[in-house]
Amino acid sequence: MEKRHNYAAAGFLLLGIGAAGRAFLGVPEGVTMAELSLTVLLVIGALLLTRQGLAALVCGLAATALELVLCGSWVQAGGALTAAAPFLRLADLWLLLGLVWGSLPAARRAVDDLKYTRSTRMMLVACGVLLAAHTVLRIASLAAPASVPLGKASSGSFVVFSVLLLWYTVLMVKAYNVQRTKH
Q: Which residue has the higher pLDDT, 3 or 83?
A: 83
Q: For residue 140, how many other CB atoms are within 10 A of its CB? A: 14
pLDDT at 75: 75
**1 part of a folded domain:** no
Residues 6+ apart with CB under 8 A from 145: none
- Domain membership of residue 148 (yes or no) is yes
- Domain with 15 in it: 7-182
Residue of 95, 93, 15 whose CA lies nearest to 49: 15
pLDDT tier for residue 34 given thresholds of 50, 70 and 90: confident
Residue 2, by phi and psi: left (phi above 0), alpha (psi -120 to 50) or beta?
Answer: beta
Cβ 169 vs Cβ 22: under 8 Å = no
| Arithmetic mean of pLDDT, 112-136 | 86
- What is residue 49's three-state secondary structure? coil
Mean pLDDT of the 26-49 span: 82
Share of the chain above pLDDT 90, in %: 32
Residue 155 counted as domain residue: yes
List pLDDT tens digits, range 133-182.
Answer: 999 999 999 898 888 888 899 889 999 998 888 989 988 999 999 888 87
Answer yes or no: is 2 within a domain. Answer: no
Q: Are 92 and 11 in contact (CB under 8 A)?
A: no
pLDDT in the model for residue 1: 43
Backbone phi, psi, residue 51, to 5°? -65, -25
> How many domains, in total, are found in the chain?
1
SS3 content of the chain, % helix, strand, coil (to 5): 85, 0, 15
Is the pLDDT reported for residue 101 higher than 70? yes
Judge contact between 39 and 18, C-beta under 8 A: yes
Please state the φ and ψ torsions of residue 3, each to the nearest 5 degrees. -85, 135
First-last CA distance in the chain: 13
